[in-house]
Amino acid sequence: MQRKWTFARKLRNEATDAEQHLWRYLRREQLAGFKFRRQYPIAGYIVDFVCLPARLVLELDGGQHLDALSYDIKRTQALESEGYRVLRFWNDDVLLRREAVLEEVLRHLPRGDEGG
């Protein structure tokens, strides 16, 4: 497990433009008071973003994911079997349609003062 945490730290330090862009709006509980973590190990995978209290995973996909659809399906199934809901967004959506992405994330967070 220590290797996963070390790799997760490396991924945080080498974040894509889309990951950096979205993180600006998720960090410090800016999104409805919910705490998100980035590059976090869950179920043998490292997810891009997770809100642990809401059991919500956000995955950002670039063009390479077109060639990895079966891997992504397996990964999503593993995360869902652990009780997480997985939302996937294309990098372009995050960079060009940020408001729509954030609205979609908000729709999947619990309502009220349940922030994490």
Domain boundary assignment for the chain: 2-107
DSSP state of 111: S
pLDDT confidence of 82, banded at 50, 70, 90? very high
What superfamily does domain 2-107 belong to in CATH?
VSR Endonuclease (3.40.960.10)
Q: Is 93's pLDDT higher than 70?
A: yes
pLDDT of residue 111: 84
Mean predicted confidence (pLDDT) in 106-111 = 94
Mean predicted confidence (pLDDT) in 85-103 = 97
pLDDT of residue 97: 97
Three-state DSSP class for residue 36: coil
Between strands 85-90 and 56-61, the pairing is parallel
pLDDT of residue 83: 98
Of the candidates 31, 27, 55, 61, the residue with the CA atom closest to the CA atom of residue 43: 55
